[in-house]
């Protein structure tokens, strides 16, 4: 009992059956219908996107007994013989196996003779970049002055290896990698025509694994049909492809949304029993985050078959847009650096923890604190200055004034730098606060003057985060008003920079005065390079 693979059985036989290469098909159809057909065509692109298929259809268009057109009849003897691969005037050559110059000369010796059966003698040279330099030279002469009855159709996955002299004599068409949605739609049509039961999510997984190649996708589909006992299911697709069930990816996203570090790590470690490809898990997590980001910014965008719209909408509500962008960036960066980790699982866990560590909230601190211990958040500015050490806590809040409400702080005896050091801020919001000076506070209004050289850090999102942090600090809602800082006003950032420079100058002066250094200068003519001096922390 013979069986024809899906990739061969469903290979397109006319331009109308091709998908995703409209820019190429339009140019070829116009050339054929107008009778302005070039003598040499070069089709480039990755494997399985239709290079050889388009070349064969073009050969059929040129030799159809009904006439040259973009729509060959498919019924005449020429069309049937080309489909069967036995048309005498279609000479198909695999350049990878005929790289010698003698092979090329033997091939081209018959170019001068008229076609035996068809209108044109068509040379289809696949993987043409594999020809040797001498073979290219032999081909070049024929490409320069071809007989009117000859057409050259060249195909390659690596056009950079072709001599510029050959490229300049061909019409070049670059075939694109196909999106997973198009490949999935093609698979759906084929499965319905074949009467094979399928699940949309299973098709989508195979289409993604095809990586832009229709042929690879259909080969995987054939494999999945055999693996699944005649059906295409999601569970079977994941088992065959070695991917983690999407429920696990969803759970990871849920734990990220709730900033539950304990559950996140526990669930990440539970994946080990599946022996997953952790890079692929990060890919799927990043893919899910893209869908969430689209739901947040473009709600009307069409969803796919992998995740239910209700799930995406739920995650879009639970995560802020800033968090989604941060998690996505860390996921793709962590995937890239996974091979640098001690082992893939460790790198995967560290990537997930990094997402929460950089999340601009205190929830991770509370989740990671030992049972019964208070969550301690060190001052970012103070830590960087080296004053407190890794376990130092934030500076204590000043006592409330006589009749002030409990928990309401007075800023009278505090500088703005001291206030900023105690604010629960990270990232761009802390930068905004550090580049301001406190003008004054009147009731619920806090007036700040922003350094004009750092206006770019002021965005609506960062203003809201700063206002929320100040509201928590003062114990009541706060509204911000901004103005431009006058020249000479010292912001916390400038104060820190000045202090760092003073420390550096002091370190350099101390080193210059060091007896050992002075002895080295006097005895050996040594020179101290100031740029290499760093103060000890």
Q: Are strands 436-442 and 445-450 parallel, antiparallel or unpaired?
A: antiparallel
* Strand-pair partners of 231: 197
Give the per-residue pLDDT at 40: 93
Rounded Cα gap, residues 379 and 420, in angstroms: 9
Query: What pLDDT, on the 0 to 100 scale, is given for residue 238?
Result: 80
**Going by C-beta distance under 8 Å and a sequence separation of 6 or more, which residues neighbour residue 345?**
269, 272, 278
pLDDT at 476: 86
The tokens 């005449």 sit on which residue? 76
Contact 173, 144 (CB under 8 A): no
User: So what's the pLDDT on residue 536?
Assistant: 65
Tell whether domain 416-490 is in CATH 3.40.50.300. no
Of the options 3.30.420.40, 1.10.287.3610, 1.10.8.60, 3.90.1150.10, the CATH number for the domain spanning 180-241: 1.10.8.60
The strand order across the sheet containing 40-44 reads: 90-94, 121-126, 150-156, 40-44, 171-174
How far apart CA 45 and CA 264 sit, in angstroms, is 41
249-363 and 416-490 have identical folds? no
CB 92 within 8 A of CB 81: no
**C-alpha distances in Å from residue 526, one per residue of 511, 513, 532:** 13, 14, 14
CATH C-level class of 249-363: mainly alpha
pLDDT, residue 173, reads 93
The answer to whether residues 45 and 157 touch, using CB atoms and an 8 Å cutoff, is yes
Residue 338 in contact with residue 302, Cβ under 8 Å?
no
Q: What pLDDT score does 1 carry? A: 56
Residue 234, pLDDT score? 87
Task: Give the residue extent of every domain in the chain.
Answer: 6-174, 180-241, 249-363, 416-490, 494-532
Contact 41, 55 (CB under 8 A): yes
Cα separation values, 531 from 238, 282, 517, 527, Å: 56, 41, 16, 12
How would CATH label the architecture of 6-174?
3-Layer(aba) Sandwich (3.40)
**pLDDT value at residue 305:** 64
User: What are 527's two structure tokens?
Assistant: 């020179």
CB atoms near residue 329 (< 10 Å) = 14
What is the C-alpha separation between 53 and 14, in angstroms, rounded?
Answer: 9
Which segments in the chain show pLDDT lower than 50? Answer: 361-401, 403-413
The pTM score is: 0.55
Nearest to 129 by CA among 177, 85, 170: 170
């Amino acid at each position: 009992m013979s069986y024809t693979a899906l990739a061969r059985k469903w290979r397109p036989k006319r331009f109308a059956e091709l998908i995703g290469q409209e820019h190429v098909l339009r140019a070829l159809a116009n050339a054929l219908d107008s009778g302005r057909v070039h003598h040499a065509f070069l089709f480039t692109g990755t494997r399985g996107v239709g290079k050889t298929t388009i070349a064969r259809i073009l050969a059929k268009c040129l030799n159809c007994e009904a006439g040259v057109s973009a729509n060959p009849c498919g019924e005449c003897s020429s069309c049937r013989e080309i489909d069967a691969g036995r048309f005498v005037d279609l000479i198909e050559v695999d350049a990878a196996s005929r790289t010698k110059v003698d092979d090329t000369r033997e091939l081209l010796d018959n170019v001068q003779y008229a076609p035996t059966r068809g209108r044109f003698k068509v040379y289809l040279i696949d993987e043409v970049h594999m020809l040797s330099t001498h073979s290219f030279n032999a081909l070049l002469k024929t490409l320069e002055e071809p007989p009117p009855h000859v057409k050259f159709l060249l195909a390659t996955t690596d056009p950079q290896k072709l001599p510029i002299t050959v490229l300049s004599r061909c019409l070049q068409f670059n075939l694109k990698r196909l999106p997973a949605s198009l490949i999935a739609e093609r698979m759906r049509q084929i499965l319905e025509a074949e009467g094979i039961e399928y699940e949309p999510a299973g098709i989508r997984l195979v289409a993604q694994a095809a990586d832009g190649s229709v042929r690879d996708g259909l080969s995987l589909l054939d494999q999945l049909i055999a693996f699944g006992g005649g059906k295409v299911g999601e569970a079977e697709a994941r088992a065959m492809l070695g991917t983690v069930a999407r429920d696990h990816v969803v759970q990871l996203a849920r734990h990220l949304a709730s900033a539950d570090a304990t559950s996140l790590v526990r669930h990440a470690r539970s994946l080990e029993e599946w022996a997953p490809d952790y890079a692929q898990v990060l890919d799927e997590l990043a893919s899910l985050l893209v869908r969430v980001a689209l739901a947040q910014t473009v709600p009307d965008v069409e969803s796919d078959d992998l995740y239910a719209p209700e799930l995406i909408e739920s995650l879009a509500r639970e995560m802020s847009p800033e968090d989604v962008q941060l998690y996505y960036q860390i996921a793709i960066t962590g995937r890239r650096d996974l091979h640098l980790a001690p082992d893939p699982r460790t790198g995967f866990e560290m990537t997930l923890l990094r997402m929460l560590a950089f999340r601009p909230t205190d929830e991770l601190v509370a989740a990671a604190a030992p049972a019964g211990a208070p969550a301690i958040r060190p001052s970012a500015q103070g830590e960087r200055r080296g004053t407190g050490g890794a376990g130092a806590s934030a500076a204590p809040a000043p006592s409330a004034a006589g009749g002030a409400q409990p928990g309401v702080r007075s800023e009278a005896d505090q500088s703005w730098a001291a206030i900023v050091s105690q604010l629960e801020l990270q990232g761009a919001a802390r930068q905004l606060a550090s580049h301001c000076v406190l003008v004054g506070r009147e009731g619920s209004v806090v007036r700040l003057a922003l350094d004009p050289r750092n206006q770019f850090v002021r965005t609506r999102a960062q203003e809201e985060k700063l206002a929320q942090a100040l509201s928590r600090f003062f114990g009541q809602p706060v509204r911000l008003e901004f103005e431009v800082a006058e020249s000479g006003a010292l912001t916390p950032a400038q104060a820190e920079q000045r202090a760092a420079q003073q420390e550096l100058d002091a370190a350099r002066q101390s080193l210059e005065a060091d007896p050992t250094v002075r002895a080295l200068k006097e005895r050996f003519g040594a020179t101290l390079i100031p740029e290499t001096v760093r103060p000890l922390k």
